[in-house]
Structure 1
Amino acid sequence: MLGIKQEALAFDLGNDWNQKKISMLEQKDLIEDDILRQISDALKIPVEAFQNFDEEQAINIISNTFGDNACVGNPNSTFNFNSIQELKKLHEEKIALYERMLKEKDEMMARLEKLINK
């Protein structure tokens, strides 16, 4: 619903995670508290939002937000977004991802240097 790819979430969660593990997690009915806290931290969403999630209510919100007129090819469609703002948001997300990747690279280099120096 947030438009976050499984690979991106796995990257945010750290080395023990991958796309397949996220996919299997999505299929579970019950998620352990410690894992839920990790995901909550990574997504910056309170744990309570997951615990109190109501799929039907979320679908209603999406339906009411976009409605039947928000269809591709419908000349009467109304789109309520600012493309410049969306582009800026995507650019900022890309920069944040790049910075996280650089930080992880630096951490890996430091670990490698420690191993080499042993």
Structure 2
Amino acid sequence: MENKEVIEPEILKQVAKILKVPVQAIKNFSEEAAVNIISNTFSDESVAYTEYYKYTINPFEKWVDAMDKNEQLFKELLKSEREKIELPEKLLNEKKGNK
């Protein structure tokens, strides 16, 4: 399509639908105008912001989050170890009770 002088209207409609733009936007597209807009707006931060654009990571918050996750993991491991100790004790007590 890039090498064609004229694109069939049906193909143009399909491309516009896929790109979710009006057919007129494709017909009236000017590479020079697009480059001009990008070059004139990129440095003054008037580009569209996304959720994580200029996101600042707070190391302390990351550390606290990691500590919270480690604390939960430690609690789960401790519970597991206690269960491992309690099981033989329980079996031993049951044997003592049967004698």
Same fold? TM cut 0.5:
no
TM-score by length of 1: 0.36
More contact order relative to length (CA 8 Å, sep ≥ 6): 1
Structure number with greater Rg is: 2
